[in-house]
């Protein structure tokens, strides 16, 4: 007997909850062959605004958590990803049209990359920070601190899970909170990652996932005065120069689009891109 198919209509992931789009819109997610896979929420500018509010209110707790704790929380996500391997592989196969081996390799790579970044959480400060030599009776210390709320346009090409992980993990490591606009044509990995995050130890609002059209949402994030940084890694097909210009109005840090197989390759520089260096002078004891 045939079972009744259950077509899913997914929602957004904002502030640790799964709200529908404020606009009420949805769009069809199709497989690479053009078959219906699911409905995804088509996020609006107001969803992006709500996501920024959630990210801002989560920032204090996440940035204030100890580096060791952040590393543990991020590592836990990798554990959960591992537990959901089958689901991710399935979704990648149907939406990207790759075989099981390729999909499996992508999920492995994404998990490994997540673990790699998680390991940096309590180490990048030692590498990027410094005790500066000064000619006076002072300690002079420079330490990187998180930039704040980072808006990310996720990579839009193939490798939907790996691209997303490569974009959000480095921003999280330093203690930033994230609003990410998912891959428009292959959002299932992002939606499932949202479900992973909701059941992990990540506080609500630290990662906010908006599905929908990057072309529609990105300009609102770029000009939003409460967004501190903008990662345009997946904005190659958008008018990203315009986005950079409007981001400049409120002095955001901006990373340019990247394309090709090594786009958003794991690197310490991606972590440091969304940090601000704080330098402290402190008198030495004169004894």
Partner 1 sequence: MTSSPLATYQPDQRAASLIGGEATDANLRRYLHGIPGIDAVGLEARAADLGTRSIKTSSKRWAIDTIIGLIDLTTLEGADTPGKVRSLVAKALVPDPGDPGCPRVAAVCVYGDMVGTAVTALGSAHAAGGTEGAGVQRVHVAAVATAFPSGRASLAIKLADVRDSVAAGADEIDMVIDRGAFLAGRFGQVYDEIVAVKDACRRADGSVAHLKVILETGELNTYDNVRRASWLAILAGGDFIKTSTGKVAPAATLPVTLSMLEVVRDWHRLTGVRIGVKPAGGIRTSKDAIKYLVTVAETVGEEWLVPHLFRFGASSLLNDVLLQRQKMTTGHYSGPDYVTID
Report the interface residues with partner 1, using CB under 8 A. 49, 52, 56, 220, 223-227, 246, 249
Least distance (Å) between residue 225 CB and partner 1: 4
Least distance (Å) between residue 57 CB and partner 1: 10
Determine the Cα–Cα distance for residues 210 and 214; give it in Å rounded to an integer.
9
Nearer to partner 1, 56 or 84 (CB): 56
Nearer to partner 1, 107 or 254 (CB): 254
Least distance (Å) between residue 14 CB and partner 1: 15
Least distance (Å) between residue 234 CB and partner 1: 21
Nearer to partner 1, 134 or 241 (CB): 241
Q: 286: burial class by Cβ within 10 Å (0-12, 13-18, 19+)?
A: exposed
Least distance (Å) between residue 220 CB and partner 1: 7
Nearer to partner 1, 226 or 262 (CB): 226
Nearer to partner 1, 58 or 227 (CB): 227
Nearer to partner 1, 55 or 173 (CB): 55
Least distance (Å) between residue 56 CB and partner 1: 7
Nearer to partner 1, 52 or 165 (CB): 52
In angstroms, what is the C-alpha Rg of the chain? Answer: 20
- Residue whose C-alpha is closest to residue 178's, from 132, 228, 128: 228
Least distance (Å) between residue 179 CB and partner 1: 12
Angle at the Cα of 204 (from 203 to 205), degrees rounded to 5?
Answer: 115
Name 131's bridge partners: 141
């Amino acid at each position: 007997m045939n079972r009744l198919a259950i077509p899913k209509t997914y929602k957004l992931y904002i502030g640790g909850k799964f709200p529908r789009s404020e606009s009420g819109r949805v769009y069809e997610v199709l497989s690479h062959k053009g078959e219906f896979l699911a409905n995804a929420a088509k996020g609006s500018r107001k969803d992006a605004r709500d996501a920024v509010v959630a990210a801002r209110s989560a920032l204090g707790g996440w940035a204030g958590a100890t580096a060791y704790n952040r590393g543990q929380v991020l590592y836990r996500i990798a554990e959960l990803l591992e537990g959901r391997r089958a689901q991710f592989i399935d979704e990648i196969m149907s939406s990207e049209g790759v075989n099981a081996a390729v999909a499996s390799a992508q999920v492995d790579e994404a998990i490994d990359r997540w673990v790699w970044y998680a390991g940096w959480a309590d180490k990048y400060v030692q590498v990027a920070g410094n005790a500066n030599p000064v000619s006076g009776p002072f300690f002079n210390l420079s330490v990187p601190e998180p930039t704040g709320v980072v808006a990310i346009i996720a990579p839009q090409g193939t490798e939907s899970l790996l691209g997303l992980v490569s974009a959000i993990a480095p921003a999280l490591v330093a203690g930033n909170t994230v609003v990410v606009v998912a891959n428009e044509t292959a959002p299932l990995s992002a939606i499932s990652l949202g479900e992973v995050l909701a059941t992990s130890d990540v506080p609500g609002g630290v990662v906010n996932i908006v599905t929908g059209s990057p072309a529609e949402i990105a300009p609102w994030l770029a000009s939003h005065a409460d967004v501190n940084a903008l990662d345009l890694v997946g904005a190659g097909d958008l008018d990203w120069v315009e986005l950079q210009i409007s981001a400049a109005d409120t002095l955001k840090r901006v990373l340019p689009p990247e394309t090709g197989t090594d786009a958003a390759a794991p690197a310490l520089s991606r972590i440091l891109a969304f940090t601000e260096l704080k330098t402290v002078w402190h008198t030495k004891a004169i004894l």
